Amino acid sequence: MLNLEAVLSAMPGAALVPGLASAWRWSPNPMFTFTAALSTDGRHNLQVNVRGPYDEALVTALLAHARAHGGTFVGQGRPLVAVGGFHHDGTPFDTVGMAAAEVHGYHATENPELSAVTYAVFPAYASEISGRENEEEAWGRFRKMLRPNTLDRTEVPFVKMRYRNTRTRSMSKGDARGFAPLDTLVRELGLLDGAPGSFVEWENRHGAVRRADSTGTGLTLTHDATQEPVNPGQLKAVARTSGQ
């Protein structure tokens, strides 16, 4: 069985983290700072990787919160998990994100055994993670959209959408909804007016699906089998609250 304490404490330049037991910090190069803490059972590594400015107090708070709520993600078989109830003065984050080994890839090359028992810990927002992401979706969110190694990042709400616009000739590929920035959703909804035959369909982190259609006489919004006429301003307002 892997001796995590021995492995982590032996990282080049590793130093103990003040105020957090069984935790170490090291920098592989001037750009990155890694901080790791043992889970409560001592069998898993909880790790925050930071690129750029490092905030020791925030990182310590993230790891302490993750450790205290290990039962919500360790061994649960979910590739991406949101651990709510987080608060740290001076930051807007309200959630701690957790990514499993198949998503984060930490230590995968140099120490696969360590990688397999490592969870990536990162500052997050409740609007960003549904907890239902499959491995492919979790990989894409973690590696391409959320910027988990940046401590001052902005919110990236969970939005999956598909659309077609008859006026701009723009459309999504295939019939499945794919992840997109919230600004893309708002932009496409704004282009619906005056483009009969166009539509935008989107899903939020709760799994709620809405669809806006441009008809010959205006715009309609369909949600929970209910259809109602709306104006462009109303559509944008609905989109802005989708991630909540």
Confirm whether 152 is domain-assigned: no
Confirm whether 150 is domain-assigned: no
pLDDT digits (tens, 9 = 90+) for 94-131: 999 999 999 999 999 999 999 999 999 999 999 999 99
* Structural domain of 217: 160-240
Strands 23-29 and 80-84: unpaired
Pick the last residue of a domain from 86, 113, 145: 145
Confirm whether 209 is domain-assigned: yes
**Are 120 and 172 within one domain?**
no
Confirm whether 231 is domain-assigned: yes
Distance of CA 52 to the CA centre of its chain: 19
**pLDDT surpasses 80 at 244:** no
pLDDT digits (tens, 9 = 90+) for 191-211: 999 999 999 999 999 999 999
Pick the last residue of a domain from 113, 145, 177: 145
Confirm whether 34 is domain-assigned: yes
Confirm whether 52 is domain-assigned: yes
Look at phi and psi of residue 126 and say left if phi exceeds 0, alpha if psi is from -120 to 50, else beta. alpha
**Are 99 and 179 within one domain?**
no
Closest by Cα among 164, 162, 200 to 179: 162
**Are 121 and 168 within one domain?**
no
Distance of CA 242 to the CA centre of its chain: 15
**Are 121 and 208 within one domain?**
no
pLDDT digits (tens, 9 = 90+) for 24-36: 999 999 999 999 9
Confirm whether 20 is domain-assigned: yes
Distance of CA 138 to the CA centre of its chain: 8
**Are 101 and 167 within one domain?**
no
Give the C-alpha separation, 6 to 79, whole Å.
27
Per-residue confidence (pLDDT) for residue 75, from 0 to 100:
86
> Do 211 and 221 form a contact (C-beta atoms < 8 A)?
yes
Pick the last residue of a domain from 99, 114, 145: 145
Burial class (CB in 10 A: 0-12, 13-18, 19+), 241: exposed
Tally of domains in the chain = 2
Within a 10 A sphere around the Cβ of 35, how many other Cβ atoms?
25
Instruction: Output the average pLDDT for the chain.
Output: 95
